[in-house]
Amino acid sequence: MNRSSKFVPYLILAVSLLAAKAGAQASQKVSAEELERYAKRVEAALKDQKIPGATVGFIHDDFVWVKAFGFSDLENEVPTRQDSAYRYASVQKSMTAVAILQLVEKGLIDLDAEVQRYVPLYPRKKYPITIRELLGHLSGTPHYVNRDVEQHFKDHKDTMQAIAVFSNFDLVAEPGTKFVYSSYGYNLLGAVIESVSGEPYSRYMEEHVWKPAGMASTRMDDPLDLIPHRVRGYQLKDGALKNSEFIDVSSRFAAGGTRGTVPDLLKFMDALNHGKLLSPQSLRLMYTPMHTRDGKISGFPNTAGYAMGWNVIHRKIGEVYTNDGGQQETRTFILSVPEKHFVMALAINLEADVYDEILFPLFELVMHEKLVDPDPRKQ
């Protein structure tokens, strides 16, 4: 599979994302009318699915479109904005993978080194586990073990405390043998970033990922900080909307402890594809699906595999890289088709996987291909 030529970063045009007025001008390829019809579908989806608020957008070549729907606060009837600040949840993992690969580029991390080389206090398990395995969810490190406790932390945790949550857990699979999606594995990568860089994760990300990509509104989701346009999140209980349970996501820092805007998510992917964050070689590595030892592609069903922080989907128009996040208060989705200079992101403030009607039509509208086959058994 020789895809390297596809990854020569395309030139980024002088686009000020937030200045771009949604719907004010049309792309060459998408008309204002089409976007308006799409917006109507999204409004209907919000109503159908009881989604309080959503923001969705894309960049296609030099065309930027972002639109907000519904409410970011139902109790106070605050409308959602383009720059409403949602919890990112697990789409943060893509940024963590980028940071690790930056440190590999600098020679500070060896992808095949044992994680204890960088985090010596992390207890050795039955088998050694490597950085590469952690990136691909192939280390056998478990995901949440006691969900009733671990997914509901309400106190603030530093990195030491976040790792201590799972440091005594046994592996659930021999490393390299099985795809075991694990937020803990990505938190361990966050600890590696801190150990190797000598900086807190947040400062490293700020300096080496968020600022270089122009992501001015992305930050750790500290419940005490005054975060402009912080979105309130909701859940459905017996069919009725309720406020989300309060949790403090500091314990999920590198795996999902951030907050920011849909435009920032677009900028992240755009910067990545323009070569602002990683070299072409690293980019290629990051986007390449990993294998289990038996030679099989590793990853979620109905995908072409999990790379490093990204799912890969084969489409006619090119390789599609996606990631999604789910957490109290939020659902998020990011998608990148580097060959088509297309990136797309959405966030909703409802804890329910009900954004298909926001996601699929927009992809199809701009890419002229379905994101998933109608019959999932064919995928």
* Distances in whole angstroms, Cα of residue 282 to Cα of each of 118, 197, 279: 20, 18, 5
161 lies in the site for a second copy, by CB under 8 A: yes
Minimum CB distance to a second copy, residue 75 (Å):
4
Q: Which CB sits closer to a second copy, 81 or 276?
A: 81
Please state the closest distance from residue 189 (CB atom) to a second copy, in A: 13
Q: Residue 286: which residues within 8 A CB-CB, separation 6 or more?
A: 97, 98, 101, 278, 307, 308, 309, 310
Q: Cα dist. 278→88, 95, 126, 268, 287 in Å?
A: 21, 11, 34, 12, 12
Nearer to a second copy, 200 or 275 (CB): 200
Structure tokens at 364: 């199809």
Dihedrals φ, ψ of 334, to 5°? -130, 150
Which residues, 6 or more positions from 210, have their beta carbon under 8 angstroms from its beta carbon? 216, 218, 264, 268
Span near a second copy by CB under 8 A; candidates 2-10, 28-36, 127-135, 220-228: 220-228
Q: Taking CB under 8 A as the criterion, which residues in 293-352 touch a second copy?
A: none
Site membership for a second copy, residue 238 (CB under 8 A): no
Per-residue interface string for the shown chain with a second copy, residues 240-269, x marking contact by CB under 8 A: -xxx-xx-x---------------------
Q: How far is CA 15 from each of CA 3, 39, 239, 244, rounded to the nearest angstrom? A: 27, 22, 42, 35
Residue 4 binds a second copy, judged by CB under 8 A:
no
Near a second copy by CB under 8 A: residue from 5, 11, 75, 377: 75
Select 206 or 248, whichever has its Cβ closest to a second copy.
248
Q: How far is the CB of 16 from a second copy (least distance, A)?
A: 23
The correct pick among 55, 72, 94, 217 for binding a second copy (CB under 8 A) is: 72
CA distance 205 to 211: 8
What is the C-alpha to C-alpha distance for residues 267 and 64, in angstroms, rounded to an integer?
Answer: 10
Is residue 148 at the binding interface for a second copy, with CB under 8 A as the rule?
yes
Q: Per the structure block, which two tokens stand in for 239?
A: 């069919």
Could you tell me if 359 and 346 are in contact, meaning their C-beta atoms sit under 8 angstroms apart? yes
Cβ atoms of 25 and 33 within 8 Å: the answer is: no
Closer residue to a second copy (CB): 282 or 349: 349
Does 106 bind a second copy (CB under 8 A)? Our answer is no
Q: How far apart are CA 303 and CA 319, in angstroms?
A: 11
The strands making up 86-87's β-sheet, listed across from edge to edge, are: 86-87, 258-260, 219-220
Between 188 and 371, name the residue whose CB sits nearer to a second copy: 188
For residues 312 and 331, give the distance between their C-alpha atoms in angstroms, rounded to a whole number: 19
Using rule CB under 8 A, residue 160 touches a second copy: yes
Contacting residue, 46, 95, 163, 271, with a second copy by CB under 8 A: 163
Residue 227 binds to a second copy (criterion: CB under 8 A): yes
- Of 236 and 372, which CB lies nearer to a second copy in the complex structure? 236
Q: How far is the CB of 160 from a second copy (least distance, A)?
A: 4
List residues near a second copy by CB under 8 A: 72-76, 78, 116, 119-123, 146, 148-149, 154-156, 158-161, 163-164, 167-168, 191, 194-195, 198, 200, 223-230, 235, 237, 241-243, 245-246, 248
